[in-house]
A and B are shown apart, each in its own frame.
Chain A
Amino acid sequence: MSAPETTVETATDEAVRRREDSAVLRIGEDDGERLEAESNASDTSMIMNMGPQHPSTHGVLRLMLEMEGETVMRSKPVIGYLHTGMEKTAETLTYLQGPTNVTRMDYAAPLFSELAFSMATEALLGLELPPRATWIRMLMCELNRISSHLLFQATNGMDIGAVSMMLYGWREREEALRLLETITGLRMNHNYIRPGGVAADLPDGWRDEVLTLIDALPARLKEFDTLLTGQPIYRERLQGVGVINTAECLALGVTGPILRSTGYAWDLRRDMPYLAYDEVDFDVVVGTYGDCFDRYAIRLNEIRESIRILAQILDQMPSGDYRVQDKKVTPPPRARIDESMEALIHHFKIFTEGFKVPAGEVYAAVESPRGELGCYMVSDGSAVPYRMHIRGPSFVNLQTLPHLMRGGMVADAVAIISSVDPIMGEVDR
């Protein structure tokens, strides 16, 4: 098949082609069966459902795959199985209750949703945080990034067939989670980062515990290298599989490790710094080929960069308040409640009525382990958000699946889903 050389493709032609000759299977959720029944004998393609209950779909992702033999032609991710209306719920919760809601979206990296929500609220309030609160947030986020990427290493290994990786990845992640539990009181869904600062100061001995973790991790990551990175079967499964380029990523709105795997260095921490990321030194890890292996290697090396950042945070952690001393948003210290009636009333009012936030709208974004996590918030001047929208990176990144899988084998689909690392709680919200 040769294309006529004389025709120049115009913008409209391109738009038409994009619609018709697409990797996305654009049919309704229920239409698969009907199309199967209507298809004639000469039609060799079939539509196959993968998920929503499938161990490699990371939760409840369903894929409709148009198969030609064992080759995936077009496909469509069908989502919504975990939709619980969290954005609607957010319109009934006060700004202090809000983090408990958003923390349940990306359950592998809950602190980032809390951070985006808190930053949006603080921007509307016009609050300036004390430096220690900022640095504690950074410490927590990097610990969480490590635990999230370790979870990826574990599940990615298992999806490919390296089941022992699941045990190692899980063991390391559990140690990171134990540290998060020591600081926040909970392994997951912490509700630790709140508008106005963080919920509690770091406990005694936190420095030693962080040190123990970041001292132990590099050796463990070496084990990962031995187990996976240099292993021929593993590389064979990932290299050259699910390739995407920079232009496609930008057109699809993709952010995070998938965008960086194409060799495009874009990291909000470096390019649009928030918290105190402009005061620490780290490298943005990029890939070359944009394949599954690059995405694996980027996440592995981002753990190493996070360890570097953590070491600097340990050196530079300032002293002072862990939350803003603004009576409007900060409840009085626990000890004051026992001796002062006014403090008790103050505490009661903050937690029952909440605090009013000036009318306005704002978009705050952070670099989560999966990409740009944004929070768009509209306030009407009351104590609950008028509208709260989370721009989940997994939701947008999921659109790459049809493009990554097209023309590949169905066995590669598993590796590709894993390398996109979607968290369905954030996709469906």
Chain B
Amino acid sequence: MSDVVETPVLHVSRDQLIETVAGLRDEGYVSALDVTAVDYLEHPGRTDLPPELEPERFELVVTLISHTTPGRIRLRVQVPADDPTVPTLFDLFPGTEALEREVADMYGIVFEGHPDPTRILMPPDWEGHPLRKDFAVGRIPVQFKATR
């Protein structure tokens, strides 16, 4: 484990996300590096959550970086499948705009208050969210307008 410094992990609920990130920003976490998500549909035996936490299907993963004392921190947010909404981090870190659009595109997680909730990688008329575990690889027919 010489090369990879272990990143401290914080589990936060959706309601506390904005508050926590704002607090971390004031503590010196100057930049939001990454926003991504994981679909835990086919991973029922996961054990890395604290026992008091209710595991949900989706998990939002936010990575922040501090430069004054070099280090990253990772926030993990449980997002239920029947209500996949999270507040946007755009007002705190405008750089999350494209990253959140990608998560919305790939997982169908809705970011409340996002300024531009359009698809980013897939065509605007695409059906489904490709990185979800129940989205099969190599689906036919091709969904582009011109080939229909």
Contact = CB atoms under 8 A, between A and B. Distances in A.
Interface stretch (A201-209, A267-275, A282-290, A338-346): A267-275
A374 B43 contact: no
A28 interface: yes
Which has the most chain A C-beta neighbours within 10 Å: B31, B67, B96?
B31
Contacts of B122: 80, 83
A48 interface: no
B84 interface: no
B70 A272 contact: yes
A253 B91 contact: no
Interface string B13-37: 0000000000000000011111010
Interface string B40-63: 001101111000000000000101
A416 interface: no
Contacts of B99: 253, 395-396
A362 B4 contact: yes
Given A83-B121, A87-B131, A376-B63, A18 B91 contact: yes
A18 B34 contact: no
A126 interface: yes
B98 interface: yes
13 contacts: A26-B116, A80-B119, A87-B131, A88-B131, A88-B135, A119-B3, A123-B6, A134-B3, A251-B95, A274-B3, A360-B48, A380-B45, A428-B121
Contacts of A266: 67
Contacts of A120: 4
Q: How many interface residues does chain A have, given as a range? A: 35 or more
A363 B67 contact: no
Given A30-B124, A251-B95, A391-B34, A363 B72 contact: yes
Contact of B94 (A28, A83, A251): A251
A374 B124 contact: no
Contacts of B102: 395
A29 B124 contact: yes
B38 A378 contact: yes
Given A380-B46, A391-B34, A251 B93 contact: yes
Nearest to B61: A376
B146 interface: no
Contact of A252 (B4, B34, B95): B95
Contact of B70 (A251, A254, A271): A271
A331 to B, nearest CB: 22
A391 B102 CA distance: 11
Contacts of B137: 88-89, 92
Nearest to A12: B91
Contacts of B94: 18, 251-252, 399
A79 interface: yes
Interface in B82-133: 91, 93-99, 102, 106, 115-116, 118-124, 130-131
B127 to A, nearest CB: 15
B33 A391 contact: yes
8 closest A-B pairs by beta carbon, nearest first, are: A253-B95, A123-B4, A252-B95, A80-B121, A26-B116, A391-B34, A83-B121, A15-B91
